[in-house]
Amino acid sequence: MAKPLFHGVCASSITPFGQQGALDLARLGPHLDWLIGEGVDAISPLGSSGEFVAMECEDRKRVLASAIENIAGRVHVVAGTHDYSTRRTIDLSKFAESHGADSLLIVPPYYMAPTPTQVMDHYRRIAEAVSIPIVLYHNIPLTAVDLKSDHLLKLYEEKAIGGIKMSNPEPDRICEILQATHSKLHIYAGIDTVAFEGLCHGAHGWISGIPSTVPRAAKELYVAIAVEKNLDKARLLWTKLAPLMRLQFQAYHSRGEGAHWFSTMKAGLNMIGPPVGDPEPPIAPLPASLRETLAQLLRDLGYKVQS
């Protein structure tokens, strides 16, 4: 693993689509420029926000190549190269590395719920095929895979992974691994509900909805906790960010109706940055009844909302 992983906030960039689901890559460059202008430390094309599950592998490669070319070394690139198939994941990972990605974000094989040993072998085989770090995307609800801390530590000891995006509602999962590895294994808060606690525990960064929607505000919180060590300031910042987090994850946490995190994210980006379009169906645009609520939350964070 020749390249170091990043510290700070990472935006999971969107994939712009046009009519009938065709890629609209002309919109990608302005979106990436805006994220970088907001002060992100890294960008992850084809994370969850990149809607990789809606694309065939060749279109994923087109997105990765375009994103890496547009970013042009300005920030660290964590390329999403996940797929259910180990073979296709290796192919995507080698492609991303050959085009200049700095690291890889890979969710466990989803839907078929392989055993922990099978999942660990999946990561081992990918690691054998590439030389850049792998960030394991720990996301139990969307994969049905829960690698325990001992599994994760074993993969780290074997040098199969260099980091973990921990999308787990239990902050102690972050704390436990940081303590076990003396903070040598890079841990990123992967869901906004544990971002504050995770960063206070010493997480190396933050990759989730808030850093992807309002990166400047997310960076302020990261700096207050990780750099300035100013807990009072961080609490005040989180008071403003928490309502956005609660809106974004309404449907996710209730497992029912309400704002969908990605509908909220794309609506927010359309309000304050270059247009990025709507989600691909079945995810629908944010309902009109929630748009003014979102707009006011963005204004409260200091953003100018476009009409």
Positions marked catalytic = 137, 165
Q: How far is CA 171 from the centre of its chain?
A: 17
**Do residues 199 and 225 make contact, with C-beta atoms less than 8 angstroms apart?**
yes
